[in-house]
Amino acid sequence: MKNLTYIDLFSGCGGLALGLHNAGWKGLFAIEKSADAFQTLKYNQIDKHNNFNWPEWLEQKNHDINAVIEEHEDALKSLRGTVKMIAGGPPCQGFSMAGRRSEKDDRNKLIDSYIKFVNLVQPEILFFENVKGFTIGFKDGNKRGEAYSTYVVKKLKALGYDVDGTIVDFSKYGVPQKRQRFILVGTKKGKASDFFEAIKENRANFFKTKKLSDTTSLSDAISDLLQSHGTVESPDTKNFQAGLYAKAESKYQRHMRKGKPLTHKVADSHRFARHKADTVKRFKYILAYATPNKSIDDKMREKYNLKKHTIVPLCEDSCTPTLTTLPDDYIHYCEPRILTVREYARIQSFPDDYYFRGKYTTGGERRKIDVPRYTQIGNAIPPLFGEQAGLILKDMI
């Protein structure tokens, strides 16, 4: 099909963009404020592959959406009729029930920037993603205010879109993670609700074509990446060990590796944490006695004097809970350690030839500025779901 052009707003490291590309869409440009996340997107989808027809009037770098609107309003208006879709949703941290949910978070105001951008370009279709908390109003005393999802629907309907939205569990779409997200679709032609019916109906055919199962366990996703398979000096960090591939043991692993054997080779971003001996001992105890996929109980916290809010030993036979941006929230299902960046990426359905750039992790005040590799992946839309969404959105045109 001709003219399957889209703009990716708040693109992060490019999970949705990769999925849309695999479904046959062509990006025009992507807007992402973080230099770290944009560096990953650019490396994989612009430098390595030509997934965007980037316009000359927009510099190929990280951008703030408000600056783009202010500086390029006429150029954005000139795109009317040529851009079929705007994809992506504003940052979720202000709405997330897992974080410091706050109505005063400045990032919440980006909803209005999104609506203004849509009004300037006026695409035929909108695809919008955000956390479950986006559908829950903030409390003011004993009353709960209007949810931001309701606000967005009203604004988009006023712009002439038929709009529908619901909570989608990505684990039902082959992603080995019980990740529930609010998905909203808007269209100027037809019914937006058709999207949600069609993506469910298409699941069986999609996974048959990919030779995959529509449900994937954690061990199905990452058992070929165990530390016990061997380590070498990390190629991108001194004084750290990185893991080697073992033989692929599942259809999902073969799909993520694109059918390449890779045995005994180093996986990108598969650097292991350097845990202290007492941490390893604690992790072994938790793996032996705690309930998998549940945060440890108060008795276990008291035993080790732990103040951390979330510590979850993972279960090999099921999908994981929603991955946060904090890797030390989780313990590997059979090794006393946290997950690596590559294991995070596998759980989010990024293929192994998608390389991550920037720091591995950060802390303290730098958390307000840096978007390291773990955070990039934790914030992403799984490409495997993005591809399924892209196929249905293509059919809606």
pLDDT 10s digits, 375-391: 999 999 999 999 999 99
Mean of the per-residue pLDDT values of the chain: 92
| 182 three-state secondary structure | strand
- pLDDT tens for each residue of 239-288: 999 999 999 999 999 999 998 888 889 999 999 999 999 999 999 999 99
3-state SS string over 364-386?
A: HHHHHCCCCHHHHHHCCCCHHHH
Catalogue the long-range contacts made by 219-222 (C-beta closer than 8 Å, 24 or more residues apart). 219/250, 219/316, 219/317, 219/333, 220/176, 220/249, 220/250, 220/251, 220/252, 220/253, 221/176, 221/250, 221/252, 221/253, 221/256, 221/343, 221/346, 221/347, 222/253, 222/339, 222/343, 222/346, 222/347
Q: What are the boundaries of each domain within the chain?
A: 5-212+381-396, 218-374
Residue type, 253: Q
Q: How does DSSP classify residue 160?
A: T
Percent of the chain whose pLDDT exceeds 90:
81
pLDDT for res 101: 37
Give the Cβ contact number of residue 26 at 10 Å: 16
Residue type, 354: Y
Hunting for tokens 């609107």 — which residue is that?
Answer: 69
- d(CA 175, CA 171) in angstroms, rounded, equals 5
Architecture, CATH, for domain 218-374: Alpha-Beta Complex (3.90)
- Give the global pTM: 0.92
Domain 5-212+381-396 bears CATH identifier 3.40.50.150: yes
pLDDT for res 258: 92
Task: Reply yes or no on whether the pLDDT at 362 is more than 90.
Answer: no
- d(CA 270, CA 61) in angstroms, rounded, equals 27
pLDDT for res 137: 62
